[in-house]
Amino acid sequence: MANSTVRGPGVASPGRRSMAAAARAAARRTERVGPEAGTAAPDVIKPEAPDDASQARRPDDQQAGPVLCADDSVAVAARGRRRGRICAVLAVLVAAMLVAVGVLGSTYGDGRRADGARVQALAAATQAAPIVLSYDYRRLEKDFAAARDHLTGKFRDEYRRTTTTVVAPTAAKYHGVVKATVVKPPAGGAPAASVVSASPDKAVVLLFVNQVTTSTQVTGPRVDLNRVRMTLTRTDAGWKVSAVDAL
């Protein structure tokens, strides 16, 4: 009969010792390695890293507001400048139109006044010529005074000096009589006079004047056919003769 081997409770079998050693080694590895070896680490929620597209958009998004505001300001300023330029151009055009209207109106008014001056000056010259260029030794003072009523300016003063110092003594001495008339066509009609130039305040008139002179120095009447240029000036009293030239 074979002897059975009895092991006490404090003695472990080789198999059990091997299992215990393996368990202790596993426990040590677990303690040493921790979650990296056999235990899953708890999930940690990490912030999502922005991708390239979001990073590319972020500066644009951050700048979107200011950029649009800047563009709006620039656009508003540009529109303001354009409106300012348009207003300036329109103002210049309006001013030019007003000036043109004023010039045209002034030119038209001057033309109308010049036309009126031609008619008035021609009538004044035709009326003044026979009086200014005539005299009678028997009424010299009266004739010279009547002539001076048709004269103005320096010519009036010159006429007074000439008639006083030269014409009057000669006419009185030789009984001189001069009668002047503006030539008229034989069949009648307007006197032979025309306006050379005219402005609202001045006109030059050409007249054909016949002067018949009698005196003790000549035998019978002497007829002088003269062309006379008269310059007339508008005054408060009407058109007056300011110069007379024999041509």
* Proportion of the chain above pLDDT 70, given as a percent: 65
| Whether the predicted pLDDT of 104 surpasses 80 | no
142 assigned to some structural domain: yes
pLDDT value, residue 2: 45
22 assigned to some structural domain: no
More confident site: 39 or 105: 105
Rounded to two decimals, what is the model's pTM? 0.58
102 assigned to some structural domain: no
178 assigned to some structural domain: yes
CA dist 136 and 143 (Å) reads 7
Q: Which pLDDT band, with edges at 50, 70 and 90, does 88 fall under?
A: confident
Print the domain residue range for 113. 108-246
Q: Total domain count for the chain? A: 1
182 assigned to some structural domain: yes
Nearest Cα to 210, choosing from 192, 194, 225?
A: 225
197 assigned to some structural domain: yes
What is the β-pairing status of strands 238-246 and 222-235? Answer: antiparallel
Tell me the CATH number at 225. Answer: 3.10.450.230
| Whether the predicted pLDDT of 53 surpasses 70 | no
235 assigned to some structural domain: yes
| Whether the predicted pLDDT of 13 surpasses 90 | no
pLDDT value, residue 198: 95
230 assigned to some structural domain: yes
| Whether the predicted pLDDT of 209 surpasses 90 | yes
